[in-house]
Homo-oligomer: A and B are copies of this chain.
Amino acid sequence: MGWGYVEDAIDKSTLQPILDVMAPVLGGAPQPARPGPSAADVTLATPAVDPPQALAAFVSTDHDQRLLRAVGRSFRDLATLRAGTPLAAPAAVATPRNPQELEDTLAWASDAGLAAIPFGGGSSVVGGVNPEDMGDWPGAVTIDLQRMNQVFGINERDRVVHAEAGILGPALENALAGTGLAVRHYPQSYFHSTLGGWVATRGAGHFSTLRAKIEDRVQSLSVMLPDGSTSTTRPLPASSIGPDPNRLWAGSEGALGVITDVRLRLVADPAHKLSASIGFRDFETALEATRAIAQAEIWPAQMRVLDPFEHMVSTALAGGAGEGALMILGFEGEYDVSRQRDAAVEIARAHGGTPRTSGDSGAGDWREAFFRQPYLRDALLDHAVIVDTFETAVPWSAVPAFYHSVLEATGEALDEVCGHGGVACRVTHAYTDGVALYFSFYAPGEHDALLTQWHALKAAVSEAVVAGGGTMSHHHAMGRDHKTWARTEIPDAFRSAIRGAKSALDPTGMLNPGLWFAD
């Protein structure tokens, strides 16, 4: 079990050169390959329940069905599967095809005294859907919404698509074919995540500026509460009637109601695309240029900035030898974007950057590599190589001290826990007041200690993020994995408010228990 589609997995001949490149970081060859368990090998800790006959068409207690929804796709999830200990799993899996079946599922779970965990594409990397930390709940029905995937309508005048929450990224994009409109929200999980999941986690896509976060693109949404009642926010471009209801459910991770459908703001299919890459002698200089571009209101569609190690790793994999930091800019729009590109390049140059190439190529390769990274992680994991990432956002004024302190803390933890390791960083999204940083680390793990090693590393990096004033997540949500450290960034009054809201919406606390909402 791993990421995505079996036929897309990385084969041995592709892997060896990667291992060769990584050898210096890993302190030599990694452990011999030990494949992950097959589905049948995994024992489920939680007993299944007997669903009523009336729900048989969309509720299953099949082993594989339960296993498939027992975890997300975090490193912890994969290491847990390999550890061989019995796995916390849903007591049953519901795949409702419409709101009535969803209502029936919730009513049954409620009657049976079971928790309910809304589930989108299952690509959570933060323990968002694992039936763990559930207090007194004896088990959970995981509600996979992927069969609620209708497109209700495309409003071309408003540039809004109205679709059910369970639709996957590509299906939503395909539904727009021929309209001249597009979603263009490409998280790394694009092929395996849903519209509702994006909103419930406040995810980010490939837009580095302006439309980075999905919550800024939600015009309206509907939720179903445990009692089966539904509510829809009024589709409006903006309002000042009380707090914004859409913003209560954006980031609610299934704990404040099941998001059933969303009206999402679209963009024009870009008629114009341009890119540029710019070299910098170091990351600090590149960050200053990034800040200047972000604050200049040029709004590049993409602005990825690789630190020297990230740059070295990514070019080494392609047989090259990148030095220094690299900024990759992408511009796209309904109208000519050359002036934007030129302005950004000019600012970068004024901040010490050296333009490398210019044109409209390159973005496609990068995009494909980006979507393939999780497959690589699986292949490396066979060799007990720990590959994990964490992402955060901080104000500009905290950078670069934040970058250095997190790098140092991560490096020290890797040395201590694994004896070797490397840590890389890139800018993924930028704002006028700060930046999102995405860290990746690699270390030689041990097959029989992966989970322990990961927990030690996760604690060390999370403490460094919190100490530096970063958020525990810019776009992956909180889940169970971030709960401990996320506490420090949730103001007391907000915790009280959300608990109050949760009590009103979900009086028994049955929805996705285990998040901070109910602590």
Binding site for B on A (CB under 8 A): 155, 157-160, 201-204, 212-213, 215, 219, 223, 225, 229-245, 247-253, 256-257, 265, 267-268, 291, 295-299, 333-335, 339, 343, 393-397, 429, 431-436, 469-478, 482, 486, 489-494, 496-505, 515-517
Closest B residue, CB atoms, query A496: B504
Closest B residue, CB atoms, query A489: B234
Residues of B within 8 A of A516 (CB): 242
Question: How distant is A433 from chain B, measured CB to nearest CB, in Å?
Answer: 5
The answer to whether A471 touches B295 (Cβ under 8 A) is: no
Closest B residue, CB atoms, query A160: B433
Question: How distant is A438 from chain B, measured CB to nearest CB, in Å?
Answer: 13
The answer to whether A240 touches B395 (Cβ under 8 A) is: no
The answer to whether B335 touches A238 (Cβ under 8 A) is: no
- Report the bound CA distance from A503 to B493 in whole Å: 12
- Report the bound CA distance from A219 to B490 in whole Å: 14
Q: How many copies of this chain?
A: 2
Interface centre among A237, A267, A431 (most CB of B within 10 A): A237
10 shortest interchain CB distances as A-B pairs: A500-B504, A237-B434, A231-B491, A231-B493, A237-B431, A247-B247, A202-B240, A497-B501, A500-B500, A239-B471
The answer to whether B433 touches A474 (Cβ under 8 A) is: no
- Report the bound CA distance from A235 to B244 in whole Å: 20
Residues of B within 8 A of A478 (CB): 240-242
Residues of B within 8 A of A501 (CB): 496-498, 500-501
- Report the bound CA distance from A236 to B249 in whole Å: 20
Question: How distant is A519 from chain B, measured CB to nearest CB, in Å?
Answer: 12
The answer to whether B433 touches A159 (Cβ under 8 A) is: yes
Residues of B within 8 A of A234 (CB): 469, 471, 489, 491
List 10 A-B residue pairs with CB atoms under 8 Å apart, sorted by A's residue number: A234-B491, A236-B434, A238-B393, A238-B431, A241-B473, A242-B516, A247-B247, A267-B432, A296-B334, A500-B501
Closest B residue, CB atoms, query A515: B242
The answer to whether A257 touches B395 (Cβ under 8 A) is: no
- Report the bound CA distance from A357 to B462 in whole Å: 57
The answer to whether B395 touches A160 (Cβ under 8 A) is: yes
- Report the bound CA distance from A472 to B240 in whole Å: 8
Question: How distant is A176 from chain B, measured CB to nearest CB, in Å?
Answer: 15
Question: Which of B159, B253, B291, B394 is the one whose CB lies under 8 Å from A432?
Answer: B159
- Given A233-B491, A493-B225, are A244 and B215 also a contact pair (CB < 8 Å)? yes
Closest B residue, CB atoms, query A212: B238
Residues of B within 8 A of A493 (CB): 223, 225, 229-231, 257, 505
Question: How distant is A196 from chain B, measured CB to nearest CB, in Å?
Answer: 15
Residues of B within 8 A of A473 (CB): 239-241
- Report the bound CA distance from A244 to B203 in whole Å: 13
Question: How distant is A231 from chain B, measured CB to nearest CB, in Å?
Answer: 4
The answer to whether B500 touches A503 (Cβ under 8 A) is: yes
The answer to whether A243 touches B247 (Cβ under 8 A) is: yes
- Given A237-B393, A251-B243, A434-B236, are A231 and B159 also a contact pair (CB < 8 Å)? no
Residues of B within 8 A of A159 (CB): 295, 432-433
Residues of B within 8 A of A157 (CB): 291, 395-397
